[in-house]
Structure 1
Amino acid sequence: MTASTSLRLVLLAAASSVALAASADVNTATTADGERIIAGYTPSVALSCVGIALFGASTVALWLEWFRTGRKRYMLTLNIAMICMTVGFILRIVYHSNLDSLGGYIAMYMFLLLSPCAFLAHNYLMLSRLSRAMGPDATSCLFLPAHHVGTIFIWSDVITFWMQAAGGGLTAVDNPSLVKAGKYVALAGLCIQLVSYLFFTSLLIVFYSNVRRRHAHLAHPAQPFRFGAHKFWSNSMVYDWRTLVWVVLLSCVGVITRSAFRIVEYSEGYYGKLATSEGYFYLLDALPLWLAMTLYVFFYPPRFIEGARELEQVSSTQYALENGGATVDRYTTESSEKTSRAEERGPIAGFVPKQAPSVVAAALYLLSTCSMWLSFHRTGRPWWLVVLPIGMTCMVAGFVLRFYYSMDENATKLSVYLPFYALLLLSPCTFLATDYILLPRLGRAMGEEVAKTAFLVPIRFLLRFFIWSDVTTFFIQMSGGGLMAAGSSKMSNLGTKVMLVGLVAQTLSFIFFTVILVVFGLRVYRNHMHLVRPTEPWRPTRFNPLAAAPVSDWRLLYWILVVNCVCIIVRSIFRTIESAQGHDGYLATHEGYFYMFDALPLWIAMTLLAYCWPPRVFDGLTLVDGVSPFSNRHVAFAHVGRTPEDRRAMVYGEIGDEHDGKGWAPEPVKLGTYDSYRH
């Protein structure tokens, strides 16, 4: 990322965090003058000084080591993050003298909350650097490409970071329901970040175990590490890689402790017990991080990484001498053999995709995506629906990468195959999430009576259940994809089975959702006839898909959801059968079936939502005082003095027309601002 992008990211996170702190919970802490204490408590100057002393000392030691050991650039991540943590504690003292200062709180909170993200990134880089320094024997013990380990996990952090930022953005509005939803979104980001780091820790443990089990020459170094003989302040190389692995594992314990604490603290709210009791912050956040990162002062990673690299070079040279002074080392030879075997196997996908269908699919999805983004901006940017255009954008990227993969030189490259396969397989999860979001909103928009009586399950549980189901099956499929990328046939077969489990669970969950949708429609038609025939029904000849005008006919969105479900179920069944046949099965190696039963149904389903942008329907259902305008006397609902019983009577026609001539008129509606959770 560029410097400007990183700066925007940091500022957004700071603003989001402050928004959460300002609005998510009730803050009763005040100064002696009656001013509100934004943090919810008064920070201790003494404890802040201790934090400055400890983090400052470790920071100075790390910089001294950096200059003494060749100024390795990959260590700058840790060094700069330690400076930021020290600055955070200094700003904590500054904030103590001005407890109602929003600017002081932002600066302090930003440094102490965001700096540890760099600690995670540092550990990601350590595993990647060490495995590559040890040579291909070691990198083969990872079930992810060694040169992508840092990139994959760092991008995982970036994605979860944006989730937290998005959740914080939702809390900046005045609507309590959106504030609550924002809190859950940000909390989900923290949870996924912890899961990602636990996955990394598992990868580190598997790496250590595989190296010890598979490669005896690496498992037992000629110069093993001895604690009593280790010179902590020396710049000499250390030839035992196992020590660095244990140091990274211990630092993982500190980071996981801090992450778990932050999740519990966040779930309680910004003014919960953990957030307003300073001792917990130092015991479960600052102290574990300081211990984790200070380990690198005494066991400075470049000493171990360069030692491993030197051993690998010596081993390669010895191999060359034993084979008649060959100039090519054994790893180059093995790499050439692997390349030859890859060429003999042919394309990773089992076939070379045709370029023309990829171009056509990318063009069709791009048109629908552009229409969605245009409607998104024209209807007031309804952030609760942003998952749909983002998913479509990912599908476009998937087809572009599929076209790139179809070039002859890329057909055998795993690094090209995995991104396009993952995008085309996992992006549709956002389409399922879109349907899960729209149905409960439609029920609420049609009135409290419909919301209470037309659903098989309570509407308040509907969205949570299916979104969590979607998230769970998403991670199962992602885990299966990771195992498939391991390279060995055993791990690939296991990955296929794991992915099949995720697809089956996702299909069953969505079929259950479809049953709920159908029952909803039947109950509305049977029990709520006054809602079935709106006064302004939808007519194709008079409908403008690119307009932002409200649409009051709920049936249009309902039948689009029904068609969506049919298309998505067709796609899910196809993917399940394809996965059951295996990676080299008939369906997987004949791309015509992919376009017929996957790409086309999904495009039809999502293009219908682009045709009838859902916020237009919700705006049309709430033109007047939050009540559906299905009666030609709906203007009477704008009268503030009417009771709910009177309004219901006006809908059912139980009150005459004597009230209709008093000049009441609907209030102006700002499009895209409707939130069904208020009604």
Structure 2
Amino acid sequence: MPRSRSALLYAVAALSAASTVLAARSRDVCPEDPYLDPANDQCNPFRYVPSLGLNAAACALYFAVALAFTYNQFRYRGRYFLCLVIGTFTAGIGFILRLTFRKTLHSSGGYIAMYLFVVLSPCAFLAADYILLGRIVNHLDAGRYLFINPSKVSTIFIISDIVTFLIQAVGGGTSSARDQKARDIGVRIFLAGLAAQLLSFLLFSLLWVVFLYRARKDEFLWKRSGWKPLYFALGFTCICFLIRSFFRTIELSEGYAGHLSIHEKYYMGLDALPLFVGIAVYVWYWPYRILTPETKVQRSEWSNEQYSGDDTELAPPVREHGSPNTSATLADDDMNGEGKK
């Protein structure tokens, strides 16, 4: 799927979800003073005034990491990780909009713009992980240790993410209906989309675990230097993103004005912070600095002699000029005195 089309679908879904709160809000009479009682202000989608200090600090941190990513991008390249760079800048802009929203708590346009940036940035973070797993596995020429073609990992999970996000948008729009029965159905659809999205990322995390489990049994692969710190960094981001996903699922299961939703400290501590910590590791473990052409595993480096029993079937064939060269390899070893046992 073209990445531009994916970004467009994410944007449409985010706007649809944002319209949920605004549609419900339009039926209420807004108080003249939005700062008098924000907790009971039906026209304030947050039900609180965003903290100046917390949002300013988050904005500064996200932009600092975004600039570090930009430096890595220009120095080491790696177009496939450009989504992470853009997503981090997007998150920083989202916090700027949260700060400006402090002065316009009843602004529909301000809320839609803020919501769009805040919701889209984590999608870019997830997409970066989806892309990276396939890149690492292809770099190691170890696709046999996955139950999904590594070249298709990013496509499968990005499509899954978009579909579940659109389900949430449909549920969000339905839940803003005037009819109580329709609203109840909308809430259930919305939660189903959230649960499906969480399940999708859990499956991706399981894929990460499966490859690690199988790769540990391969002595040649496991002793290969360079890739493991990056791979464990990827696993760390999975843990951080899962914390955020569980929080979002529980938060929205309480409704749009639940306890977790109307207290900013939970959003900052269980959403913004895990996302930030998760992406910040890539400042040090920039993939294109580690997965270089010099460190790429070549098919000729494998040898069936490194496997025994069932593992022999997993070993990639060693070929030279398009034909098996096992006999030639053994002959060369005998000539060098290395083929004798």
Number of corresponding residues: 305
Partner of 2:105, secondary structure, is coil
Question: How far apart in 1 are the matches of 2:153 and 2:171?
Answer: 27
Aligned to 1:203: 207
| Offset of residue 304 of structure 1 | 2.2
Aligned to 1:148: 152
- Structure 1 counterpart of 2:74, one-letter code: F
Aligned to 1:274: 260
Question: How far apart in 1 are the matches of 2:246 and 2:302?
Answer: 48
Bigger mean CA offset, 35-44 vs 20-29: 20-29
Distance 1:317 1:107, change over 3 A: same
Question: How far apart in 1 are the matches of 2:180 and 2:6?
Answer: 31
| Offset of residue 33 of structure 1 | 6.8
1:216 to 212, 215, 219: 219
1:37 to 31, 44, 55: 44
Identity of aligned residues (%): 35
Aligned residues of 2:6 and 2:162 also touching (Cα < 8 A): no
Q: Which runs of 5+ in 1 are unaligned?
A: 222-238, 320-328, 338-679
Aligned residues of 1:254 and 1:291 also touching (Cα < 8 A): yes
1:117 to 110, 113, 123: 123
2:177 to 143, 157, 173: 173
Partner of 1:275, secondary structure, is coil
1:302 aligned onto 2:288: yes
| Offset of residue 21 of structure 1 | 5.8
Distance 1:5 1:254, change over 3 A: closer
Question: How far apart in 2 are the matches of 1:102 and 1:153?
Answer: 32
Aligned residues of 1:168 and 1:186 also touching (Cα < 8 A): yes
Question: How far apart in 1 are the matches of 2:154 and 2:16?
Answer: 28
- TM-score normalized by the length of structure 2: 0.82
1:312 aligned onto 2:297: yes
RMSD: 2.8
C-alpha distance after superposition, 1:556-605 (max 9, x if no partner): xxxxxxxxxxxxxxxxxxxxxxxxxxxxxxxxxxxxxxxxxxxxxxxxxx
Q: Which runs of 5+ in 2 are unaligned?
A: 304-315, 325-341
Question: How far apart in 1 are the matches of 2:171 and 2:243?
Answer: 23
Question: How far apart in 1 are the matches of 2:128 and 2:279?
Answer: 10
| Offset of residue 11 of structure 1 | 3.2
2:57 to 50, 56, 59: 50
Aligned residues of 2:14 and 2:119 also touching (Cα < 8 A): no
2:279 to 259, 273, 293: 293
Aligned residues of 2:227 and 2:291 also touching (Cα < 8 A): yes
Aligned residues of 1:27 and 1:271 also touching (Cα < 8 A): no
Partner of 2:45, secondary structure, is coil
Higher RCO, 1 or 2 (CA under 8 Å, sep at least 6)? 2
C-alpha distance after superposition, 1:329-385 (max 9, x if no partner): 955679988xxxxxxxxxxxxxxxxxxxxxxxxxxxxxxxxxxxxxxxxxxxxxxxx
Larger radius of gyration: 1
Question: How far apart in 2 are the matches of 1:217 and 1:174?
Answer: 63
Partner of 1:155, secondary structure, is helix
Aligned residues of 2:49 and 2:102 also touching (Cα < 8 A): yes
Question: How far apart in 2 are the matches of 1:124 and 1:49?
Answer: 30
Question: How far apart in 2 are the matches of 1:17 and 1:82?
Answer: 21
Question: How far apart in 2 are the matches of 1:334 and 1:83?
Answer: 48
Partner of 1:204, secondary structure, is helix
Aligned residues of 2:19 and 2:173 also touching (Cα < 8 A): no
Within a 5 Å distance, the mapping from 1:602-617 to structure 2 comes to none
| Offset of residue 196 of structure 1 | 0.9
- TM-score normalized by the length of structure 1: 0.42
